[in-house]
């Protein structure tokens, strides 16, 4: 019954930590004194200790009803509510407690803590400011104040608060961590890393400190130091995602991408559903060339987040890099399903469709993108680039104009437009475009290169080289600048300097057909046909429609005398350059030399279409027509039948030569082909010697050498055509008039001794050739050498050799006056008239005067061709193209054509 004794027992039990006995004592007191506030507080403590929070709250509330200013009850109620995460109620309870005891630092501290948890950082800072005012030496107040200030983004004040906490408690790992966080927010990464290091040093189990220190080191690019920190965390927990992510980043920063890829594998194993981890793995796999792994990883990421367009775009780009354009187009469709107005998705899908060869669908996608957002310059630029790649340059120019209408300062569009204008031959417009670009950006290399290219095209090579020098000052390895520099050197006669420039430019663009063509022209100027042909062939492989490459190839082949191949190449060039008169004329010449007279005439017609007043072209066409209609062959065969030169009226009447071509035919047949002996190759010279020796065997004497004609050559070698006969005749004619001087370098002493055994009357070119079986040139040298025995020893002179004697005119020289038609059939009865050169004997040296005439055994008509068996064939046999009447072997016109095509290339058969 003694309440005071029981209250004493109550107070003792509160400190004894025996809640059940305490509760019994409190109940006993309250039965006697229900208004005892201290007992209600003690009862609340007992219920709280027994994990009976509701009963405890009821006890505290009862005490507060009895006296609302009971600070202890209010404080305990607030703490219990905070423990129950009922922060709003706890905050009101602390307010009530502070009203009861406004100078309690602990109450202000707990209130600030609740406000911090409620993210009311400014209010928390105000409350904690009261805490440090009443308890300035309490490190807890300073620490919690630092956290609140940090939450309120008052980082400088937060750092100061943490410094005060560390001054009171230097070994507080939490305070070091808080300071490091505030410093990191201030981007003072060096100090923050040191603070985190101090925290980790004082509490080695504090993983956040290590992770944050690693992140600061990553910001400082101190990847080497970050790696061991993350490895320390991973050693403690192999599945720590933050540590694995940081390690991947550090290894990537060190360029150890393969190790980063392996670490990303551990990251995906730690959390197979981490979308970012799979995306990171895809990026690393792509960087180390593991394309399939990259696609597989990004597919995993997309599977985990199918609606994320950023991952779909990455997947699309990876598929494009792997050449899987169909799959990339399908990803583009998926992006458009998510957002049909996604302009970027349409642009990139157009790229994939283009790579699949679906140019029209690609253009449709770009057109759709343009309709969705007509103000998007990227779409118009992409369309222009696509049209350029497909060769539709006028439409591409329109697209770039549209882009520039939206933004006249669009540098890529300006540069592309300038190049299109240049390629279209509008050099002046291109130059203005590049000048406009340089006004916007006077240091832009594309504009500088473009202007230099235009100046070079206008033959302002010095100005172009000046701009190229500026470009090299900014970029010593600029490929376009080397390209322009090379063409400037090429056009100014410095081909040897141009070739290295072209080689350097081709490193960046090995399939640049124009540069390869210029390179071929450079080798052509250096007289290196093999290298030139290789360059032109490479240019043609890169762009078969490049006319200049075909033209260059044709000119090289023409110089190599490969006329059929040259004609074919030049014909391809004319398909592109139809308005190039010189090209058509060159093609006509090549066709003519290749024996394609019909094609030659057509080429000359095209040249005359461009310039109908060119007399040289008309002359060339006339010669081609003359060859095409074969009047010259007819005339030679007619004279072979007559065994004498034909008269003008005979040529007109019996050879069917048109009146307008009569003089040309006579002149052509009666003039030897001009030769340039200094350009004759040794092999060709030996062949000419062999053929000339056979002809000289049938020349009667030296006096008849001036009267030699094509019929004399074709009589000895009937399988030759007129061109070859004129060539042999031209060779003999040149040898006859060659101004040679005797020299010991000939080493013909043995031949001289043999010739000394001959009568001096036979010391002439014809007899020496016949008696000693020599070719024309060797016989001529021997004839000249024998002159020393007429006038003394060798003549030594320092004078340059005299000019050769002018050639004797052949035209009209062998055309005789008209004779009675009755004499045409009687060749043996014809007598030369006064002033007429006597005809050479046309019979074989082995034939007797009584030998039968050369007639066809089947038809009795004069023979025009000799078969391989030796039998003569008349014109009817040749035209019929049947079998030889003697040996019955088939006559193939193809054989004759094939022999004719091979003659220029091979004289060894003669």
Specify whether the CB–CB gap between 775 and 738 falls below 8 A.
no
Length of the chain: 910
What does each C-alpha distance from 666 to 810, 813, 904 come to in angstroms? 10, 10, 24
- The phi, psi pair for 883, rounded to 5°, reads -120, 155
What pLDDT is recorded for position 800?
47
Please, are residues 668 and 701 in contact by the beta-carbon 8 Å criterion?
Answer: no
Percent of the residues in the chain that have a pLDDT greater than 90, as a whole number: 39
Distance CA 876, CA 891 (A): 12
Would you say 294 and 318 are in contact if contact means Cβ atoms under 8 Å apart?
A: yes
Alpha-carbon gap, residue 673 to 848, rounded angstroms:
33
* Greater model confidence, 359 or 48: 359
pLDDT one-digit tens code per residue, 355-413 = 888 989 999 999 999 999 999 889 999 999 999 988 888 999 999 999 999 888 889 99
Q: SS3 string of 671-707?
A: CCCCCCHHHCCHHHHHHHHHHHHHHHCCCCCHHHHHH
Sign of CA dihedral 577, 582, 583, 587: positive
List the one residue out of 323, 253, 331, 259 whose CA is nearest residue 288.
259
Q: What pLDDT does residue 843 have?
A: 37
Q: pLDDT at residue 898 above 50?
A: no
Cβ atoms of 556 and 532 closer than 8 Å: yes
Q: How confident is the model at residue 905 (pLDDT cuts 50, 70, 90)?
A: very low
Q: What tens digit of pLDDT does each residue of 60-97 get?
A: 778 777 777 777 777 878 788 888 888 888 888 888 88
10 against 141, higher pLDDT: 141
pLDDT exceeds 70 at position 524: yes
pLDDT at res. 94: 81
Tokens of 906: 């091979």
User: For 673-731, what is each residue's pLDDT tens digit?
Assistant: 676 666 667 777 777 788 878 877 777 666 667 667 666 776 677 666 666 777 777 77
Say if CB 569 and CB 554 are below 8 A apart. Answer: yes
662: pLDDT confidence band, cut at 50, 70 and 90?
Answer: low
Rounded alpha-carbon distances, angstroms, from residue 731 to 313, 675, 692, 725, 833: 77, 7, 8, 10, 29
List Cα–Cα distances, 454 to 87, 422, 539, 625, in angstroms: 78, 7, 22, 43
**495-508 vs 513-525: helix crossing angle, rounded to 10:** 160
The mean pLDDT of the chain is 80
Torsion on CA atoms 574, 580, 583, 584, rounded to nearest 10 = 70
Region for residue 835 given its phi and psi (left: phi exceeds 0; alpha: psi -120 to 50; beta: otherwise): left
Quickly state the pLDDT bin for 808 (edges 50, 70, 90). Answer: very low
Please report which confidence band the pLDDT of residue 783 belongs to, taking 50, 70 and 90 as the band edges. confident
Q: What is the pLDDT of residue 173?
A: 93
The pLDDT assigned to 893 comes to 46
Query: In the prediction, which pLDDT does 140 show?
Result: 92
| Cβ(604)–Cβ(617) below 8 Å | yes
Mean pLDDT of 22-35: 77
DSSP annotation string for 392-434: -HHHHHHHHHHHHHH-TT-HHHHHHHHHHHHHTT-HHHHHHHH
Helix (H) or strand (E) holding 15: helix 3-16
Dig out the tokens for 669 from the structure: 């047949």
Q: Quick check: helix, strand or coil at residue 819?
A: coil
Residues 6+ apart with CB under 8 A from 68: 96, 100
Q: Is 117 helix (H, G, I), strand (E, B) or coil?
A: helix
Q: Lowest mean pLDDT: which of 233-237, 316-320, 902-906?
A: 902-906
Confidence check: pLDDT of 464 > 60: yes
pLDDT at 813 over 60: no
Q: Which residue has the tokens 């050639």?
A: 807
> What pLDDT is recorded for position 792?
45
pLDDT(776) > 50: yes
Give the lowest-confidence range in 82-96, 115-129, 263-277: 82-96
How confident is the model over 543-549, as a mean pLDDT?
Answer: 90
Residue 811 to residue 662: CA distance in whole angstroms:
12
Cα torsion for 157, 159, 164, 166, to the nearest 10°?
Answer: 160
Identify the residue whose tokens are 């003394």.
792
CA distance 463 to 455: 7
Q: What is the reported pTM?
A: 0.54
pLDDT in tens, 606-622: 888 888 778 787 667 66
């Amino acid at each position: 019954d003694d309440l005071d004794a029981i209250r004493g027992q109550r107070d003792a039990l509160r400190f004894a930590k025996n809640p059940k006995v305490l509760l019994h004592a409190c109940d006993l007191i309250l039965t006697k004194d229900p208004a005892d506030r201290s007992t209600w507080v003690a009862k609340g403590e007992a219920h709280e200790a027994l994990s009976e929070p509701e009963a405890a709250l009821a006890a505290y509330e009862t005490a507060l009803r009895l006296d609302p200013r009971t600070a202890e009850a209010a404080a305990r109620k607030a703490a219990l509510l905070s423990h129950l995460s009922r922060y709003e109620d706890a905050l009101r309870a602390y307010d009530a407690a502070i009203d009861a005891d406004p100078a309690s630092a602990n109450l202000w501290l707990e209130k600030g803590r609740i406000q911090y948890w409620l993210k009311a950082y400014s209010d928390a800072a105000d409350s904690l400011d009261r805490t440090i005012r009443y308890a300035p030496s309490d490190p807890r107040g300073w620490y919690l104040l630092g956290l609140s200030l940090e939450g309120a983004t008052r980082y400088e004040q937060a750092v100061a608060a943490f410094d005060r906490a560390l001054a009171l408690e230097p070994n507080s790992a939490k305070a070091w961590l808080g300071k490091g966080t505030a410093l990191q927010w201030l981007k003072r990464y060096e100090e923050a890393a040191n603070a985190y290091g101090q925290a980790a040093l004082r509490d080695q189990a504090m993983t956040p400190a290590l992770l944050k220190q690693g992140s600061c080191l990553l910001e400082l690019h101190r990847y080497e130091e970050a790696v061991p920190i993350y490895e320390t965390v991973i050693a403690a927990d192999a599945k720590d995602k933050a540590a694995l992510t940081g390690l991947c980043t550090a290894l990537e920063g060190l360029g150890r991408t393969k190790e980063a890829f392996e670490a990303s594998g551990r990251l995906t194993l730690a959390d197979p559903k981490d979308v970012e981890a799979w995306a990171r793995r895809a990026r690393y796999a792509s960087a180390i060339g593991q394309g399939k792994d990259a696609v597989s990883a990004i597919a995993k990421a997309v599977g985990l987040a199918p609606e994320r367009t950023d991952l779909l775009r990455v997947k699309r780009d990876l598929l494009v890099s792997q050449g899987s354009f169909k799959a990339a187009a399908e990803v583009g469709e998926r992006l458009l399903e998510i957002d049909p107005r996604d302009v970027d998705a349409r642009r990139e899908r157009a790229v994939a469709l283009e790579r699949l060869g679906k140019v029209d669908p690609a253009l449709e996608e770009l057109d759709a993108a343009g309709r969705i957002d007509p103000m998007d310059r990227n779409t118009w630029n992409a369309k222009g680039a696509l049209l350029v790649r497909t060769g539709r340059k006028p439409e591409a120019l329109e697209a770039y104009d549209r882009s520039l209408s939206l933004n006249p300062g669009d540098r890529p569009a300006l540069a592309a437009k300038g190049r299109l204008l240049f390629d279209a031959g509008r050099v002046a417009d291109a130059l203005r475009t590049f000048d406009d670009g340089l006004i916007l950006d006077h240091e832009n290399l594309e504009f500088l290169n473009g202007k230099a290219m235009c100046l070079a095209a206008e033959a302002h090579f010095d100005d172009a080289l000046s701009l190229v020098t500026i470009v090299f000052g900014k970029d010593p390895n600029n490929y376009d600048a080397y390209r322009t520099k090379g063409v400037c050197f090429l056009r100014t006669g410095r081909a040897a300097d141009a070739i290295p420039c072209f080689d350097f430019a081709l490193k960046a663009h090995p399939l640049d057909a124009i540069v390869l063509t210029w390179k071929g022209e450079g080798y052509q100027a250096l007289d290196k046909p093999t290298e030139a042909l290789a360059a032109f062939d490479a240019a043609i492989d890169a762009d078969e429609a490049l006319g200049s490459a075909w033209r260059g190839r044709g000119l090289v082949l023409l110089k190599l005398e490969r006329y059929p191949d040259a004609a074919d190449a030049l014909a391809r060039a004319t398909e592109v350059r139809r308005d190039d008169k010189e090209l058509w004329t060159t093609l006509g010449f090549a066709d003519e030399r290749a024996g394609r007279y019909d094609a030659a005439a057509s080429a000359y017609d095209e040249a005359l279409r461009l310039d109908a007043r060119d007399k040289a072209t008309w002359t060339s066409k006339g010669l081609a027509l003359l060859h095409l209609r074969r009047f010259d062959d007819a005339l030679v065969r007619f004279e072979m039948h007559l065994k004498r030169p034909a008269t003008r009226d005979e040529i007109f009447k019996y050879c069917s030569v048109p009146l307008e071509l009569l003089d040309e035919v006579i002149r052509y047949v009666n003039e030897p082909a001009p030769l340039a002996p200094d350009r004759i190759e040794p092999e060709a010279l030996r062949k000419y010697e062999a053929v000339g020796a056979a002809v000289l065997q049938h020349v009667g004497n030296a006096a008849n050498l001036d009267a030699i004609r094509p019929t004399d050559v074709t009589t000895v070698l009937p399988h030759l055509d007129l061109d070859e006969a004129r060539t042999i005749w031209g060779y003999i004619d040149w040898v006859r008039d060659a101004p040679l001087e005797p020299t010991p370098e000939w080493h013909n002493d043995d031949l001289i001794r043999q010739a000394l055994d001959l009568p001096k009357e036979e010391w002439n070119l014809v007899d020496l050739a016949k008696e000693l079986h020599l070719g024309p040139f060797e016989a001529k040298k021997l004839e000249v050498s024998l002159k020393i025995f007429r006038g003394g020893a060798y003549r030594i002179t320092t004078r340059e050799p005299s000019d050769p004697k002018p050639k004797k005119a052949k035209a009209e020289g062998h055309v005789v006056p008209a004779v009675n038609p009755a004499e045409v059939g009687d060749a043996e009865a014809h007598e030369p008239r006064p002033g007429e050169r006597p005809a050479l004997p046309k019979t074989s040296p082995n034939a007797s005067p009584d030998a039968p005439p050369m007639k066809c055994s089947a038809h009795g008509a004069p023979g025009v061709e000799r078969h391989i068996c030796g039998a003569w064939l008349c014109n009817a046999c040749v035209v019929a193209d049947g079998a030889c009447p003697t040996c019955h072997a088939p006559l193939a016109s193809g054989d004759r054509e094939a022999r004719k095509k091979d003659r220029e290339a091979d004289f060894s058969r003669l």
